[in-house]
A and B are shown apart, each in its own frame.
Chain A
Amino acid sequence: MTPAARGKGKARAPKPRKQPPETWALRLYVAGQSPKSMTAFENLTKLCEKHLKGRYSIEVIDLLENPKLARDDQIVAIPTLMRKLPEPIRKIIGDLSDTERTLVGLQLRPR
């Protein structure tokens, strides 16, 4: 995380290093306490603490409780992580056990 890379959060093209100053809004879709849902939540909090400490929020949505909520974000498989902010919206399907892939998917690391 170089301090020089601050600013610009809305760039479409991947940048070598970017550090959006705004809060990251993440939404994790889970199915009750299914093992993969639990794994995803654990991996996500670990990752956020390491890379986004103090500037992220995680909203957990349990689709077992309310399956209709899957419609807005067109969720098909669970767990799925949505990056609502910064834009553009990104969607990462799976339990986030592959940290590298998750970082790339969240654009926290260049691919």
Chain B
Amino acid sequence: MDLFVNLYQGFQISLTPINLLYCFTGVLLGTLIGVLPGIGPSAAIALLLPTTFRVSPVSAIIMLAGIYYGAMYGGSTTSILVNIPGEAASVVTCLDGYQMARKGRAGPALGIAAFGSFIAGTLSVVGLMVLAVPLSNVALKFGFPEYFAIMCLGLSIVSYLSQGSVFKSLLMAALGVSLSFVGMDVVVGKPRFDFGLLVLGDGVGLIPLLMGLFGISEVFLNVEEKTQAREIFQTKIKGLLPTLRDWKDSAGAILRGSGLGFFLGILPGGGALVSSFVSYAVEKKISKHPEKFGTGVIEGVAGPESANNAGAGGAFIPLFVLGIPSNVAMALLLGALMIHGLQPGPLLMQQHPEIFWGTIASMYIGNAMLLVLNLPLIGLWVKVLKVPYKILFPMILLFCMIGAYSENNNPADMLVMLFFGALGYLLRKYGYDLAPLILGFVLGRQMEQAFRQSLILSDGSFAVFFARPISSVAMALAIFLMVSALIPAFKKKRERIEAEKG
């Protein structure tokens, strides 16, 4: 019964008026920065961290955590409305969300994203509460070969992301992986592929890359089509909330997404982001109509959106239990704990239970606040579609610029973004999907590191990847998925060639 006593005390802390206010401020800011393309949760937390120095540590953590999971709620909005992910974890939501909006179903898409986020968010808090300690120990068992194998598995789902040619999406994934090599080589300690530019010293920034490829290129593409009437104008907006049918279609996706997101979120390095990709692939794989994915099916929104919210919850586990941050936002929260004179690590939960339980309880409240906050906003967001381009586009450009700059306060990042804007424009014009590129980019760095670390430990023997059960199963699965996706593609190509001959 310790659990309930602790939770009760947690609620006592988080239900005080001042903490409710901080929780509300956090989730509100989180929603807003999630909606603004470019300004990610980590930039916002970095910006607001210094303002929390004068408040009590638990209030500070409640607010900063609220920004983080609030941003996961808001992130889907621009993906659905204008095909620009509000933050990285919403890249996959563009695939079907934007298509739904084009069919006049922006409301249900936004609605299911909000409900899915709420359900997944709440489930992940339950998981966080019950499973935090045992799971963090499991995560530690993952050595370098296991990480590499899991990353391979992650990358093999590329073949399910493609809307057109499998080869094109593999090409994009390879480009993404190659881009991830830019920057400091941790093993040799030397910068590589950075053209001697200081801005590329840490590699290509995810935010400039994302905002360039999606945001800037979207603006370019639309400016080009300015003479044509905008499709969305003519489509009538049908309904603001998901129908019973929508609910039936997405219930399974939400639950599966929650589970996937929670467990993948625990692993270091963008768990929320990867889990949204995996969830999309799973939904497509088990769907009765996989061919409809990418044309605006609601499961394609419900699954990934649930996954990234659950992933946000899972990410707190290594932070609270071990004091190990699994992404940049968590590293900032770790900094916040230290600044408030707390020692993050295995003793935090014993020495300062009020921090852990107060934050957990506030996350229940915060998730409810987010739902209440987001549902009425759907009506407003849908109206964004009616804003004339001459106003909407300069705004998008401006926010992308601010977002790229504010991550590191480095003006050169805006140039990096413009470069990728031009690249994204060309790629999209020639029918290359961008989602596999992002997946490759995010996984590439960690995959390479885990690969090289494994080989250092095994003294160069590749057998290390098949030596232990977790890694061998994951490797086998990855190879199977890759081959099974490629064979039909090869077959189709051969048939076409033969047809052309005959």
Do A and B come together as binding partners? no
